[in-house]
Amino acid sequence: MKMSNIPFGTTDWSDVERTEHAGDTGLAYWRTRHFGDLRVRMVEYTAGYLADHWCSKGHILFCLEGELHTELEDGRQFVLTPGMSYQVADQAEPHRSSTATGAKLFIVD
């Protein structure tokens, strides 16, 4: 990830439009900002959320609230709780997210 041509700025996430994205089950609510090729999101998953796809995009993801379960296509599973993060490169390891209780995340990709 290379960050260039991004002037200093602040974001009040409550002012960023919230969009709804359905999972196989549950919903994801995204607040998204773009800075060149960089996408930065505040994401909230409802209780019972299961992603509708295996994702191959790279992310740096930080768990703010709740509990996030991440399954890799090879069967490995990880659990994030507040204060934990993960990182994965583009096209490295397909993964998908779920949560029984809901989660709030900060994601850079």
- In order of their start, the domains of the chain are 18-108 (2.60.120.10)
The predicted model gives 25-38 an average pLDDT of 95
Structure tokens at 45: 């998953």
Q: How far apart are CA 50 and CA 71, in angstroms?
A: 11
Q: Is 87 exposed, middle or buried (0-12, 13-18, 19+ CB in 10 A)?
A: exposed
- What gap in Å lies between CA 41 and CA 96, rounded to an integer? 17
Mean pLDDT of 82-103: 95
pTM: predicted TM-score of the whole model, two decimal places: 0.91
Pair 88, 95: CB distance under 8 Å: yes
The reported pLDDT for the residue numbered 3 is 79
pLDDT at residue 1, as a whole number? 64
Q: What is the dihedral of CA 44, 49, 52, 58, to 10 degrees?
A: 40
Quote the mean pLDDT of the chain: 95
Query: How high is the pLDDT of residue 48?
Result: 98
| φ, ψ of residue 7 in degrees (nearest 5) | -70, 160
Q: Residue 86, Cα to own-chain centre: how many angstroms?
A: 10
